[in-house]
Amino acid sequence: MWYKLNSIEKSDSEQIVAKIQAPPDSPWFSGHFPGQPILPGIAQLGMVFDAIRHFGNPDKKISHISRVRFKQMIRPDDHLHVVVTPQKGQAGSYAFRIMLDAELACSGLMKIE
């Protein structure tokens, strides 16, 4: 795995919270950008998808992503909280946020089928 999953939990309300660290030797940082590496958005979406699949069917695929906002740059060794909340009445739809310390780094909606 290209990131370190420190913990992952699912609450009674089905909310998923994962504590993740992206190590400096992650291949995602190579070339993105030399001297000032940041975690690409596609890698952030991959962490969200992995958190959803951790508690569900690993054969599911992403069918739709919307309202994605990148607010903070994620750098090597940053400690992240990935929070995924199922959307009521919308099977397979999740709102997500990636928190860097107490600040929002990324948010959006993801649907899987």
Domain ranges of the chain: 4-112
113 with 92: CB under 8 angstroms? yes
pLDDT at 71: 97
pLDDT at 39: 96
8 with 16: CB under 8 angstroms? yes
d(CA 24, CA 76): 4
- Give the helix/strand (H/E) hosting 80: strand 79-86
pLDDT above 70 covers a percentage of the chain that reads 100
Residue 84 structure tokens? 């995924």
Q: State how beta strands 62-70 and 93-100 pair.
A: unpaired
- Residue 9 half-sphere exposure toward CB, CA atoms < 13 A: 6
CATH 3.30.1360.20 is right for the domain spanning 4-112: no
Split at pLDDT 50, 70, 90, the class of 13 is: very high
d(CA 83, CA 107): 9
